[in-house]
């Protein structure tokens, strides 16, 4: 596969596996470079300058997405081939990213007193996800959030590696307790046999490590199931 930067022709002339949209679909957004992500927002370039080339030019001018997000509308007029509509689309995406970071910052430091508190933090992040995502909330002795970490994507069938990673991270951040959560994309929060087995192993490991497992929550469509509330962790 050729590396980014080796093509100067229109993107639709590139091999399919090297085109930004196709790469995102095949490998996920994290596999793309900054300029490839930006090129997807731009959509198309102009004669002699494809979307990736234009994205590189923009990144060279602004240096970082943070600087890009703090820019004024007039600063975008210098880029040939980037009209008001494309500029608005990019700036809207940057603002979405900024607000997402704000949501994460507000979550850190929040005090978790109950399963409802945990769900209030996690529901906006997890309710509409098309795939199953597993998160852990790490808490200090006062039950304030130290960190929220994406542990895994997929199901909880492979429990041992996930459990090991959770408590390794807990020791690193000096967490006293944890709350685990994953979503059911179907919206049905009824725990599966694997969910119950995972929770049992998690609680056992917590007792051994002397890090309390306060809850394991399953997030659905504006609803949730709490193992703690149902008495599974007593």
- Residue 19 is given by DSSP the state S
Residue-wise pLDDT for 20-77, tens only, equals 888 888 888 888 898 888 888 888 777 778 888 889 999 999 988 878 887 888 888 8
Contacts 24+ apart (CB under 8 A), 139-142: 139/112, 139/175, 139/176, 139/177, 139/178, 139/179, 139/214, 140/174, 140/175, 140/176, 141/176, 142/111
> What's the CATH fold of domain 115-226?
Cytidine Deaminase; domain 2 (3.40.140)
Q: Going edge to edge, which strands form the sheet with 145-153?
A: 145-153, 133-139, 177-183, 212-219, 224-226
Backbone torsions φ then ψ of 127, nearest 5 degrees: -70, -30
**What is the reported pTM?**
0.60
Q: Judging by beta carbons within 10 Å of its beta carbon (0-12, 13-18, 19+), is residue 78 exposed, middle or buried?
A: exposed
pLDDT value of residue 3: 45
Q: In whole angstroms, give the CA distance from residue 215 to residue 206.
A: 11
Domain residue ranges of the chain, discontinuous segments joined by +: 11-105, 115-226
pLDDT of residue 60: 93
Helices 34-42 and 84-107: angle between axes, nearest 10 degrees: 130
Residues 233, 215 contacting (CB under 8 angstroms): yes
Q: Per residue of the chain (234 residues), give pLDDT as tens.
A: 444 444 456 676 676 777 888 888 888 888 889 888 888 888 877 777 888 888 999 999 998 887 888 788 888 888 887 888 888 888 898 888 877 766 666 666 788 999 999 998 888 778 777 788 889 999 999 999 999 888 776 655 544 568 899 999 999 999 999 999 999 988 899 999 999 999 999 999 999 999 999 999 999 988 999 999 999 987
The pLDDT of residue 227: 98
User: What CATH code would you report for 11-105?
Assistant: 1.10.150
> Which phi and psi angles does 226 have, rounded to 5°?
-115, 120
10 Å CB burial of residue 139 (0-12, 13-18, 19+) is buried
Which residues in 32-64 are b (16+ Cβ under 10 Å) and which e?
A: bbebbbbbbbbeebeeebbbbbbbbbbbeebee
Q: Which residues pair with 179 in a beta bridge?
A: 137, 215
- pLDDT for 4 equals 45
């Amino acid at each position: 596969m050729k590396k980014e930067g080796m093509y100067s022709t229109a993107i639709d002339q590139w091999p399919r596996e090297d085109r930004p949209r196709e790469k995102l679909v095949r490998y996920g957004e994290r596999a793309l470079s900054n300029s490839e992500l930006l090129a997807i927002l731009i959509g198309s370039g102009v004669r002699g300058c494809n979307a990736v080339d234009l994205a590189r030019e923009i990144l060279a001018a602004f240096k970082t997405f943070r600087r890009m997000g703090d820019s004024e509308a007039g600063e975008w007029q210098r880029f040939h081939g980037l009209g008001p509509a494309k500029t608005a689309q990019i700036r809207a995406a940057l603002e979405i990213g900024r607000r997402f970071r704000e949501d994460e910052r507000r979550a850190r430091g929040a005090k978790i007193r109950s399963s409802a508190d945990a769900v209030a933090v996690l529901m906006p992040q997890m309710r509409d996800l098309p795939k199953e995502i597993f998160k852990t909330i790490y808490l200090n002795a006062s039950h304030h959030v130290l960190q929220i970490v994406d542990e895994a994507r997929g199901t909880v069938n492979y429990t041992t590696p996930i459990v090991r990673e959770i408590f390794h991270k807990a020791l690193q951040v000096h967490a006293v307790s944890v709350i685990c959560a994953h979503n059911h994309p179907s919206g049905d929060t009824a725990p599966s046999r694997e969910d119950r087995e995972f929770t049992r192993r998690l609680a056992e490991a917590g007792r051994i490590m002397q890090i309390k497992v306060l809850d394991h929550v399953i997030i659905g469509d504006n609803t949730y199931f709490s193992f703690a509330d149902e008495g599974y962790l007593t």
